[in-house]
Amino acid sequence: MAAQALSANGAKVYITSRRPEAIENAANSHDPSGGQIIALQTTDVTSKDSLQQLVKEVEKREKHIDLLVCNAGIPGPKAPPEQTDAQALKDNLWNNESVEEWQDTYKTDVTSVYFTTVAFLPLLQAAIKPKGPSESLEPSVIVISSMSGIMRESQGHFAYNTAKGGTVHLTKLMSAEFQKTGIRVNSIAPGYFPSEMTAKSSDENQKSELPDEKVQEKGHVPKQRGGREEEMGMGIVSLIDRNPSQQDPLTFFSFSWLRTITSTARSLPSMVVS
């Protein structure tokens, strides 16, 4: 969704993933309508060595980037805490979740966001004058977190929700600390959008279907439907054009939709979506 929205507004978008077929399909099956979607090497964002190789590949192609989108995430273990008897509740949670699964969830959903951002700081800062064309605080990072990181309910996956809560707070920390380099950091906390994580599958074009009834049964979605691609796209584009004087981090929070924001995107030369 992010790559399509950016390329539709004239951006050259580099995408990466651990799965080569996924990024190749995304690059080849979507009409960029003015921009470009370019598949890079496969990357394990939980590995510093792999991230360094990714940065080197981008540096061979670009002198700077204008935007980094950190989108990697895994759902982690699931064990709905439905029992009222404490022993039964313990047995359910203890036997259906492992320390290793919690660690893997944090490693992908929180740690990788931090190290991916840190790895690309020099390329982002290179966009600022006199090296690049941009003013200070125009280069930016967008972290895709989740409404699950803000909710009180566990939704049956304690590890994922706490990890996404960590992602939201990490955004605040990076925003405060990295603004001194002239780089903004913001977050989008989507609700239920169609994806392989929410729909459990995707088609040959990396598209997923999320039936309205699946969202309605959750009981806490005012719109009674999943989010739409154009709504995610508006959220992404609006953060690119945020007033550079804005130094406080923004978290766009949505229960399966993003509020409509009118924005005219600048044509930006290069971005990386991980």
Could you tell me the CATH number of the domain that includes residue 235? Answer: 3.40.50.720
Dihedral-angle region of residue 11 (phi above 0 means left; psi in -120 to 50 means alpha; beta otherwise): beta
Q: Percent of the chain having pLDDT more than 70?
A: 72
Q: Over range 23-28, report the average pLDDT.
A: 74
- Look up residue 220 and give its two tokens: 């806490």
Task: Give the domain extent around 196.
Answer: 2-273
For the cut 50, the answer to whether the pLDDT of residue 127 exceeds it is yes
In whole angstroms, give the CA distance from residue 104 to residue 109: 8
Average pLDDT score over the chain: 79
The pLDDT value given to residue 22: 73
- At 241 the three-state DSSP class reads coil
CA distances from 253 to 82, 83, 94, 104, 150 (A): 27, 30, 31, 25, 9
Q: Look at 84-98, 174-188, 251-265 and tell me which has the smallest mean pLDDT.
A: 251-265
- Look up residue 28 and give its two tokens: 């080849």
Give the torsion sign (CA, 257, 263, 266, 267): positive
CA-closest candidate to residue 117, choices 180, 166, 45 = 45
Q: pLDDT: is 209 or 41 the higher one?
A: 41
State the total domains in the chain: 1
CA distances from 40 to 10, 51, 57, 137, 230 (A): 19, 12, 8, 26, 25
- DSSP for 62-98, please give it: -S--SEEEE-------------SSHHHHHHHHHHH--
For the cut 80, the answer to whether the pLDDT of residue 68 exceeds it is yes
The pLDDT value given to residue 52: 96
